[in-house]
Structure 1
Amino acid sequence: MKNHKYLLVAFLICCALGLPVTIFATTLGANKPKESKHVVFLISEDPLNYEAHLTVPPFAEMLDEKYEDLKITVLKGEGTHGAYRFPNLEVLEEADLLVVFCRRLALPFDQMTSLKNYLRSGKPMVGLRTANHGFSVRDEVEPGFEGWWGFVPDILGCENNGYFPEKLGTIVTAFPNTEGHPILADIDLKNWKSKGQVYKVKPIIDPNAVILLNGKPRGKSDIEPIAWTRTTAYGGKVFYTSLGYPTDFKQAPFIQLLINSIHWALEKE
């Protein structure tokens, strides 16, 4: 097993150089132990999806190399916003955790049913950035496909109310009294800044959501929640962060946040 610190450094270098790794619709770690937890990523390639198709695959490979107890699958589909299909989505039936980083997709009826069945079974989910409009389709939906506007309020526990100008970026700070939360473990919050714009999500719909991080646009007094946890009505654990800008994947605090959130989601209460 390679040294974990070297793997993290190698991953950050890969992202800094913009090196894509084609692992879509591929399950990594074929020789992992049977008891390994299966993490499935759903991503889409879209000019407005912040290069998820370039940033997530190397992150997934790093997870696979670093953690013997994690089995990783990355699924990237094809199609238009109004008619999009993921390959091998039946893998959700055996998934232990779903990670969503896709934008405004209508799926075939059977695939949307599979997604809803997974989440309504009480299994956990991690949502990144555009997940807060992941299945909210504005385009005309083709026959046989459907969007899911309820995904955002029902699963993420928020609304999508737009965003601040990109040029302002995000100043990241901890929400008060979050010291000791496992998702924030080993993260240096000092001087954490993202080049990505702040998403407007206030007010959080779920009064029981646990806000972990706030985001503030440079030069503004506005503050928005940018990372939180909640439990769905179906009993599923959810972590969402509106971070996930391409350059975020070059920052150690963000990578550690994702690693921590995945382990948190997989742990049983």
Structure 2
Amino acid sequence: MRPVLILITLVLNLTLARAELLSGQKAVKKPHVVFLISEDSLNYEAHLTMPVFAKMLEKKGKYKVTVLKGKGPNNAFSFPGLEILKKADLVVLFSRRIALPHKEMKILKDYLGQGGPLVAIRTGNHAFTTRGTVGEDYQSWPEFVPEILGCGNRGYGPVALGTDVTVAPESANHPILRGFKPTQFHSVGNIYYVTPLLDKETNVLLNGKAGNEVQPVAWTRNAGKSRVFYTTLGYPTDFLEPQFNNLLMGAIQWAIGK
């Protein structure tokens, strides 16, 4: 009987050791979130707010974080090190009217074409819709807006009104909105006109009101196999609102599949 007990003890110890090893491996392998941001005078200080948010996300201890700040004029822009997307688990995009080298645009399109998830913020609805001439070495992508975000870019509301943000009643229990309390706040940023949304399966999470105008300001959808979250919010002072930061945290978790 004693040899059997010894054998059982050895097997249990090996099982526990293996479980601890696997647990350690899972703890080390964190989802890799890559932020793509651009700096210009009309991009709502994304180059200031997003690195702070990224650092806050990293401190949660659940994610590996990389922030890529692009460089160059809008019509000849570049994200040095964009090859990292080949190993990314999520892209967070806050960039405005940029054209990328063909190689870089292919990397981004391949990432999305292979089902990579995306969280896009505010100027994401004209992220690759450029103005003026784009040189032959660079490429814009205006179709990104309808094909990936599932909306249009139909103008903007008056700056003076800002946007009153409320939870869409039908989405009150959506996991992204678990930390969105209280369920409304006022954004200084003006409203974006995006309706009608192009995807009937779009799940509107938040609505915004400016005067008599009501528009969706945050939603989810599937673009092929990619989980996509987009919000027209993202004005600098929005990042002072706990609801907004919790919204982005929830969107990242949802998009990755957690």
CA RMSD after TM alignment: 1.2
| Bigger CA radius of gyration | 2
CA distance in 1, matches of 2:183, 2:169: 15
Match of 2:32 among 17, 22, 38: 38
Q: Name the structure 2 match of 1:267.
A: 257
Say which is worse superposed, 188-197 or 97-106, in terms of deviation.
188-197
Match of 2:110 among 105, 113, 117: 117
Structure 1 residue 35 displacement after superposition: 1.6
> In the TM superposition, what whole-angstrom CA distance separates every residue of 1:206-236 from its partner, at most 9, and x where no partner exists?
110000100001xx1110000000001x211
Structure 1 residue 176 displacement after superposition: 2.3
Structure 1 counterpart SS, 2:33: strand
Name the structure with the higher helix share: 2
CA distance in 1, matches of 2:244, 2:183: 13
Structure 1 residue 241 displacement after superposition: 0.3
CA distance in 2, matches of 1:88, 1:47: 24
1:41-120 equivalences under 5 Å are 41-66=35-60, 68-120=61-113
1:196-215 equivalences under 5 Å are 196-215=189-208
CA distance in 2, matches of 1:109, 1:189: 44
Q: Name the structure 2 match of 1:28.
A: none
Structure 1 residue 263 displacement after superposition: 0.4
1:228 partner letter = W
Say which is worse superposed, 87-96 or 183-192, in terms of deviation.
183-192
> In the TM superposition, what whole-angstrom CA distance separates every residue of 1:101-134 from its partner, at most 9, and x where no partner exists?
0000000000000000000101110000000000
The TM-score with structure 1 as length reference comes to: 0.85
Structure 1 residue 190 displacement after superposition: 4.3
Number of paired residues?
A: 233
Match of 1:225 among 211, 216, 222: 216
Q: Which runs of 5+ in 2 are unaligned?
A: 1-25
Match of 1:135 among 128, 133, 136: 128
Structure 2 counterpart SS, 1:223: strand
Q: Name the structure 1 match of 2:247.
A: 257
Structure 1 counterpart SS, 2:86: helix
Q: Which runs of 5+ in 1 are unaligned?
A: 1-31
2:156 paired with 1:156: no
> In the TM superposition, what whole-angstrom CA distance separates every residue of 1:133-168 from its partner, at most 9, and x where no partner exists?
000011211220000011000000000001001111
Q: Which runs of 4+ in 1 moved over 4 A?
A: none
CA distance in 2, matches of 1:264, 1:235: 14
CA distance in 1, matches of 2:173, 2:77: 41
> In the TM superposition, what whole-angstrom CA distance separates every residue of 1:186-220 from its partner, at most 9, and x where no partner exists?
21134411000000000000110000100001xx1
Say which is worse superposed, 174-183 or 203-212, in terms of deviation.
174-183
CA distance in 2, matches of 1:160, 1:190: 26
Structure 1 counterpart SS, 2:169: coil
